[in-house]
Amino acid sequence: MVIFCDINNLNVSLPTASGVVQASRDVSLTIGKGEAHCIAGESGCGKTIVALAIMRLLPKNAITRGKIIFNGTNLFHLSEKEMRDIRGNHIAMVFEQPQSCFNPVYTVGDQLSEAVRIHERCSSSAAREKAITLMTQVNIPDPRKRYDQYPHEYSGGMVQRAMIAMAMALKPALLIADEPTTALDVTTRSHVVSLIKTFVAEFNTALLLITHDLGLAFQLCENISIMYAGRIVESGQIEDIQKMPQHPYTQALMHAFSNDASAPIGGMAPELTKLPTGCPFHPRCKNRMRICHEVEPQVKNGVRCHL
Ligand SMILES: Nc1ncnc2c1ncn2[C@@H]1O[C@H](COP(=O)(O)OP(=O)(O)OP(=O)(O)O)[C@@H](O)[C@H]1O
Ligand code: NI
């Protein structure tokens, strides 16, 4: 496997009025060329923060440590101008809050055509047709009419699909998809899933999928990192982890998933400003031992657990 995105001991802290949020703690993961990797975990565990760190779009006051090596370059060392080139040509992101991705003063169609023209030499009318084809591919109804509309005239689900069309126009080496299907109804969801699948296969695009929907992860990814309270607690091939989850948190997630989310994990995830001592999962862990209260476990064979 050729590794081309290597996140190495990423730490992100966000100072807030109620204390420092330790949103990402020693997060390490590698993504190979054309590989699909999922980051999964409950709300607030730090998934989006990792994605924003890769894009260098973290809040201005964020304090980061660690490295993100993309194609041999540490992204943290690039200038803002170089980073814009990365974002325009190499890494595309489908955002959890899609409205922020489009400029409100231009029509969605014009923004898509612009993206097409950055990557292909073509006339504006040819770019328009390509943009309309992309809009059709992502199931935007009446694309010719929608082409001339502004982002605020789109529904949330439609903006989400337009953003996927935008990512497709960029033909990135890495696509980061942060909850790409949450705003979609069931039919559109399965359409978008197969679209992402075809797209990453066609262009050998690597995928970093961020989701709490394990079903989506199973459909799209080969590898997975399970996050809890800012840390990766288990990682490996998705097939292995699905068959035999090792970390009690992964086990609980899998259990909740296989019971159609009707069996939520007991207890609450900790505040990232007030992490418990020892293993951050210990207050919710059925198998906790004395050491779990006291010492934070190291990673052993891909699992961060004392058991
Ligand atoms: N701009 C910010 N300032 C301060 N804290 C923040 C900021 N953005 C996120 N956080 C905090 O960082 C932590 C991680 O947030 P993040 O958005 O990465 O979670 P997530 O795993 O993506 O959750 P979700 O599944 O709900 O999207 C949370 O505790 C969140 O409250
Ligand atoms: Ni998120």
Spacing, Cα 296 to ligand 2 middle (Å): 25
Q: Which of 51-60, 89-98, 135-144 has the lowest average pLDDT? A: 89-98
Tell me which residue has its CA closest to atom 30 in ligand 1. 44
Ligand 1, from 12, 13, 14, 22: best to mutate by most atoms within 8 Å of Cβ? 14
Spacing, Cα 139 to ligand 2 middle (Å): 24
What's the rounded mean pLDDT across residues 59-65?
A: 97
Residue 260 pLDDT class (50, 70, 90 cuts): low
- Residue (of 29, 33, 38, 37) closest to 1 by Cα position: 33
- Nearest ligand to residue 59 Cα: 1
What's the rounded mean pLDDT across residues 33-51?
A: 96
Spacing, Cα 71 to ligand 2 middle (Å): 25
CATH superfamily of 3-105+150-293: P-loop containing nucleotide triphosphate hydrolases (3.40.50.300)
Residue 186 pLDDT class (50, 70, 90 cuts): confident
pLDDT of residue 63: 98
Spacing, Cα 130 to ligand 2 middle (Å): 31
pLDDT of residue 88: 84
pLDDT digits 0-9 by tens, 234-246: 999 999 999 999 9
pLDDT digits 0-9 by tens, 145-158: 999 999 999 988 89
Q: Which residues have CB under 6 Å of ligand 1?
A: 14, 16, 21, 23, 41, 43-49, 59, 96, 212, 272
Average of per-residue pLDDT values in the chain: 92
Q: Is the pTM of this model over 0.90?
A: yes
ipTM here: 0.98
Q: What percent of the chain has pLDDT over 90?
A: 75
Q: What percent of the chain has pLDDT over 70?
A: 98
Spell out the domain ranges in the chain: 3-105+150-293
Tell me which residue has its CA closest to atom 17 in ligand 1. 48
For 124: left if phi > 0, alpha if psi spans -120 to 50, otherwise beta; the answer is: alpha
